[in-house]
């Protein structure tokens, strides 16, 4: 019986730890959303300042951003592929927003 109770205690400890991890992940997500909101405000400004759609798309700039964030990920010892794919998705969404803003301001 001691083994079964030990397993129950371990399972309960795992559940509590998982709950704590989920709370921490939710807090990080709130911080990320705040930073994305800041980035969006800046993108909205940039969208009014660019001359044409090519300047909005700026593939060279996109690749420089990707290089920068991959290097930052490597310095922090996190998976640069995850950071890159996250950034590519985010940049794609922001390019669409910026194209819309650019068209509205032209």
Chain mean pLDDT for the chain? 93
pLDDT at 67 exceeding the cut of 90: yes
Number of domains in the chain: 1
Task: State the residue range of the domain holding 31.
Answer: 2-105
Q: Pick the closest to residue 55 from 84, 98, 22 (CA basis).
A: 98
Give the pLDDT score at 9.
83
pTM above threshold 0.95: no
pLDDT band per the 50, 70, 90 thresholds, residue 1: very low
Share of the chain above pLDDT 90, in %: 80
**pLDDT for res 53:** 94
Where residue 54 sits, what CATH number does that domain have? 1.20.59.10
Which of the four pLDDT bands, split at 50, 70 and 90, describes residue 104? confident
Angle at 59 between CA 85 and CA 31, to 5 degrees: 40
**Which phi-psi region, left, alpha or beta, contains residue 68 (left: φ > 0; alpha: ψ -120 to 50)?**
alpha
Exposed, middle or buried by CB within 10 Å (0-12, 13-18, 19+), for 70? Answer: middle
């Amino acid at each position: 019986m001691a083994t079964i109770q030990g397993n129950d205690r371990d399972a309960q400890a795992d559940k509590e730890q998982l709950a704590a991890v989920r709370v921490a992940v939710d807090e990080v997500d709130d911080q990320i959303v705040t930073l994305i909101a800041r980035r969006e405000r800046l993108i909205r400004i940039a969208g009014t300042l660019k001359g044409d759609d090519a300047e909005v798309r700026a593939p060279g700039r996109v690749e420089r951003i990707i290089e920068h964030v991959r290097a930052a990920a490597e310095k922090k010892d996190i998976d640069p592929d995850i950071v890159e794919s996250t950034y590519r998705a985010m940049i794609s969404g922001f390019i669409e927003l910026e194209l819309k803003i650019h068209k509205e301001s032209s």
